[in-house]
Amino acid sequence: MTNTISRRNFVRSGALAAAACTIPGVARAQTGLTQAGGMPSPIRLGMASYTFRNFTRAQLIGFMKQLNLTGLNAKDAKDHLPMAADEEAKALADYAAAGIELHAAGTVYFPKDEDEDIRSKFEYAKRAGINVIVAGDPAPATLPRMEKFVREYDIRIAIHNHGPEDKIFPSPLDVLRAVNGMDPRLGCCIDVGHCVRAGTDVVQAIHAAGPRLFNMHMKDLASFTDKDSQVAVGEGKMPIRGIFEALVKIKYPGWVDLEYEIHDDDPMPGVTESFAYMRGVLAGMGYATRG
């Protein structure tokens, strides 16, 4: 008789436990066997709203409740977090009523090296009470101007790497080179899938980023060279435990946000499986999950 359990069966058993939390009357302690004991997890699991880009804010909130999640990285997709101030205020009221905490905005793009455009993005985050903007592909020449606003608003910029197709920031290491010597509030959002596709060891990238790591986008891939090989977390090759151990080692204070980009018209099965697996990994590390 063996004490080992297959990776797939582990995921499925965790998914069943996580699914139990969606049934009225089932104790929160049932979610991935992590709530009854163990140290509070230093890893906070959240959601990138882009996962539900084909769904409305009301539907997104419903999914968050089913998943027992409170942390959201909100993007201006559908009506999740509109850029217009009046519409943004409505969204913020809905999230507050649902007990959802917005900890990051993005991905937000900075196509212009102009004060007016950059200030509008910082005002967007300030209105939401968000202190991290996940930034997509700002030109290196724009960074000094962005640094000025980082200092004025005390809002961090987490530059998102986008893999080998990204000619500016394919890897988190490219981000670190670009912000070296700049204000410490300019740093990285490591997208683990794009990171490994760029040929960068994601665990080493976490250690390299250290205090300049402000956000994490989690996903899994069946092949580190195939952008279209994304699968539910736990079904691919991503070293999830190694990632979590590295984050604990550097005392990462931020969130790990699932960005599940496949099955965009029916993402919940894969999303549920992904959180079950991540919660199970954290349980195996001796932690009770917080998200």
Residue 158 pLDDT: 98
Q: Tens of pLDDT along 229-278?
A: 999 999 999 999 999 999 999 999 999 999 999 999 999 999 999 999 99
pLDDT, mean of residues 121-139? 96
Parallel, antiparallel, or unpaired: how do β-strands 230-231 and 132-136 relate? unpaired
Residue 25 pLDDT: 30
pTM of the shown model: 0.87
Q: Which of 120, 112, 116 is nearest to 137 (CA)?
A: 112
Q: Tens of pLDDT along 189-230?
A: 999 999 999 999 999 999 999 999 999 999 999 999 999 999
Of 3-12, 40-49, 119-128, 141-150, where does mean pLDDT reach its minimum? 3-12
Residue 290 pLDDT: 60
Residue 110 pLDDT: 95
pLDDT, mean of residues 282-287? 96
Cα separation, 203 vs 244, whole angstroms: 9
Cα separation, 40 vs 35, whole angstroms: 9
Residue type present at position 181: G
Q: Which of 96, 202, 186 is nearest to 147 (CA)?
A: 186
Of the chain, the percentage scoring pLDDT greater than 70 comes to 87
Q: Tens of pLDDT along 142-156?
A: 999 999 999 999 999
pLDDT, mean of residues 17-31? 35
Q: Specify the higher pLDDT residue, 8 or 86.
A: 86
**Domain range list for the chain:** 43-288
pLDDT, mean of residues 9-38? 41
Q: Which CATH superfamily is domain 43-288 in?
A: Divalent-metal-dependent TIM barrel enzymes (3.20.20.150)
Cα separation, 202 vs 239, whole angstroms: 8
Task: Categorize the per-residue pLDDT at 38 as very low, low, confident or very high, splitting at 50, 70 and 90.
Answer: confident
Q: Which of 121, 128, 124 is nearest to 95 (CA)?
A: 128
